Amino acid sequence: MEVPTPRAIYDELNRYVIGQHRAKQTVATAAYNHYKRIAVKGAPGGDLLRKSNILLIGPTGCGKTHIARQLARILDVPFAVCDATEYTEAGYYGKDVEVMVAELLFKTDQDVAAASRGIIFVDEVDKIARRSHGARTGAGARDIGGEGVQQGLLKLLEGREVFVPQNVTQHWNKHDFVQVDTTDILFICAGTFSDLAEVDPGRGIGFGGEDVTRKHRRVPQKALLEYGFTPEFLGRLPVLMHMHMLEEDDLLRILTEPPDSIIKEYKVLLGLDDVNLDFTEDGLRAIVQQATRRKLGARGLRSIVEEVMREIMFNAPERKGSTQVIDAALVHTRMDSMEEELPAQQ
């Protein structure tokens, strides 16, 4: 495998991931080191190289999943997204952690060689923190799962031969297992850690507050230990990165700039009906402001554009040859009418 340089990875990430400069640099470098390490395996000193699994911390809709998915695409390796909350300690009802590898295997059509150098994205990892200081969440409800799942994940993170169930989708086939070595699988864990500030309010390290800015807040290892991660677990995620909440200007660029941006997509879609779409600058701003109000980061953009476009889409086939202008007034009208409709639907 020809490993692209960190700069080459960064430049390609840059086309699709807006803002998050440090995260793009860090992820590009970690991935480069990871795949370089695989390439020199067996060479003198090769065993000294540590595996560079990554922990991403950042608010909802800032691009955690997005950056990981784009990384896998650039490196042309298989990619699976797993939700940490669906897994349980072996023996409990729920998925065993090996199923994460099975998900990756599924993406490769059961190609073990390809899967064993893929990327597994473990989302909502903050939800498997030990919840023994129950006051924080109310009940310490997930205590059974949390630490046990961390424990189970250790062997995957550091690299071990594991027995992976094949055909995770077919329950009657449960007894077919295949052996996979996870040494070369890159794990990217992510979470919002939205209640982190409450653990240690004195340091102001949370993301939920109003004062979240581009400034990079470093969460000290100690805060993550207090949050409920074991030292062993954190030790296997040596690359820790914060992603900041996206600002209005970032959101504006996300709407229009990436090759697969939402606005480009809608223009193509309506172009098929021979309808021309024209978003004014203030129209785009209005969409972004709606998204900012919802505090969902870039995650909120799509549903807003969908709502704004709903009637235009419906009428498009009868408006061939026309140009539809989306300006701030139209966005506000659509948003207001949506808010009026909402209570009636309940």
Ligand X SMILES: Nc1ncnc2c1ncn2[C@@H]1O[C@H](COP(=O)(O)OP(=O)(O)OP(=O)(O)O)[C@@H](O)[C@H]1O
37 and 95 Cβ atoms separated by less than 8 Å: no
Smallest distance, Mg ion to C-beta of residue 239, A:
18
Smallest distance, Mg ion to C-beta of residue 66, A:
8
Contact between 192 and ligand X (CB under 6 A)?
yes
Quick one: which segment of 13-21, 39-47, 304-312, 330-338 binds ligand X (CB under 6 A)?
A: 13-21
Contact between 25 and Mg ion (CB under 5 A)?
no
Which helix (H) or strand (E) element contains residue 73? helix 64-75
Residue from the set 4, 9, 10, 17 that interacts with ligand X by CB under 6 A: 17
Residues 134-173 vs ligand X: string with x where CB under 6 A? ----------------------------------------
Q: Select from 52, 55, 60, 50 the least CA-distant residue to 23.
A: 55
Nearer to Mg ion, 63 or 165 (CB): 63
Using a CB cutoff of 8 Å and minimum separation of 24, what contacts does 305-309 make? 305/255, 305/262, 305/263, 305/266, 307/334, 307/335, 307/338, 308/334, 308/335, 309/266
Smallest distance, ligand X to C-beta of residue 252, A:
11
Give the Cα separation of 128 and 37 in Å (integer): 29
Query: What residues from 150 to 179 belong to the interface with Mg ion (CB under 5 A)?
Result: none
Residue from the set 4, 6, 12, 18 that interacts with ligand X by CB under 6 A: 18
Nearer to ligand X, 24 or 334 (CB): 24
Residue from the set 34, 66, 244, 285 that interacts with ligand X by CB under 6 A: 66
Query: What residues from 47 to 66 belong to the interface with Mg ion (CB under 5 A)?
Result: 65
Residue type for 345, please? Q
* Strand pairing category for 79-83 and 119-123: parallel
Smallest distance, Mg ion to C-beta of residue 109, A:
25
Residues 242-261 vs ligand X: string with x where CB under 6 A? ----x-------x---x---
Smallest distance, ligand X to C-beta of residue 260, A:
8
Nearer to ligand X, 256 or 333 (CB): 256
Give the Cα separation of 20 and 16 in Å (integer): 11
Contact between 60 and ligand X (CB under 6 A)?
yes
The SS3 call for residue 283 is: helix
52 and 62 Cβ atoms separated by less than 8 Å: no
Instruction: Give ∠ CA 57-188-260 in degrees, rounded to 5.
Output: 85
Nearer to Mg ion, 34 or 66 (CB): 66
Smallest distance, Mg ion to C-beta of residue 242, A:
15
Q: In what order do the strands lie in the sheet with 79-83?
A: 79-83, 119-123, 186-191, 54-57, 239-242
Give the Cα separation of 18 and 16 in Å (integer): 6
Nearer to Mg ion, 60 or 276 (CB): 60
Smallest distance, Mg ion to C-beta of residue 57, A:
12
Query: What residues from 262 to 301 belong to the interface with ligand X (CB under 6 A)?
Result: 298-299
Give the Cα separation of 276 and 285 in Å (integer): 20
Give the Cα separation of 80 and 72 in Å (integer): 9
Strand partners of residue 187: 120
Quick one: which segment of 27-35, 53-61, 90-98, 312-320 binds ligand X (CB under 6 A)?
A: 53-61
Residue from the set 34, 37, 64, 117 that interacts with ligand X by CB under 6 A: 64
122 and 82 Cβ atoms separated by less than 8 Å: yes
Smallest distance, ligand X to C-beta of residue 301, A:
7
Instruction: Catalog residues that contact Mg ion under the rule CB under 5 A.
Output: 65
Instruction: Catalog residues that contact ligand X under the rule CB under 6 A.
Output: 17-20, 58, 60-66, 123, 192, 246, 254, 258, 298-299
